[in-house]
Structure 1
Amino acid sequence: MMKQKVWLALLRGVNVSGKMLKMPALKSALEQAGFKQVKTYIQSGNVLFTHSEQDPAKLSAAVTGVIRENFGMDVPAIMADEAYLREVFENNPFLNGRNEDITRLYVTFLADVPTSSLVDALDRQKYLPEEFETGTRVLYFYSPLGYGNARMNNNFFENKLKLTATTRNWKSVSELLKMLGEMNVQ
């Protein structure tokens, strides 16, 4: 029997802009499709589970397929495991040496590595006081006026970088990392 690995699916655009997806219903649909130890965190599309599949692209397609089949919605899923999320957590440039207000920090998870020319083309000065820094398939985003007032939001980054993206606040990233760690101990 293949060893089960703990995964996190970060769903894009769930329970915002009209894509309503109840987490208990999603949990049930995933369990019926063979996902194990399914847990959700808040209503914004954070799903933790164990699965024998090791390929994140195949898992992403499977999660997307379950949602399409059961709820009739196309919802991209960006996959993460504990090692990746820990790397994201430990390398936040707005906390390493800057100590910014964590309620104003966000992580935009990207479906792939952005093309460096597209990142370089973003005029960072134009969007101040908002700032971003790149990481491994993520953008660390600092919005001192709050995300609701941000000009560089998830849609902005998707359009400019030509990639699927989904954004989480720092509190959610912290909690999801904790939950992944707890599931890996079990």
Structure 2
Amino acid sequence: MKRLAKAYEKFCAIELAFGAVLLISTVFMLTLAAILRTIGFPINWGLDVALLMFTWSVYVGADTALRDDKMVNVEIFQQKISPKAQKVLKLFIYSLILIFLILMVYYGFKLAYSSRNRTFQGIPFMSYTWATLSIPIPCFFMIITTVLKMKALVRENSSAAQSVQNEKQ
């Protein structure tokens, strides 16, 4: 099990680096396209490739943000309820997120398959599937993240209940 945890940590580091490289590449591509257009040598596909890389970086970054609890959160309601109710609410929210992500993966792969013969923005060597895969693949990783968060929340509840039982004895 420790081996799997180490592999997951390594995957998370690679995913973070991949997202950062994509974001930096997006900025580089946009800058290069602007400079070349200014000097009279426009690359028509530059903006399209930059948008593709940006899309991938957004969804990969969403998994990183979810894993690090950096998503937008409204805590005003949560603070008014008991800690036990907070955990139940979190579990409910994670369940909703999980259902949504499963649907995104299912329909995303379906869309990717149906667009396999379409070219991406007229670029002959690039399939539109690369654009559509930017949704289901990171969403699959977010499913893993969500399941791990739910598992940790349930374990936290059971270990807290066990320690209360031990204190009573």
Question: What TM-score does the superposition give when structure 2 sets the normalisation length?
Answer: 0.25
Going by fraction, where is helix more abundant, 1 or 2?
A: 2
Question: What TM-score does the superposition give when structure 1 sets the normalisation length?
Answer: 0.23
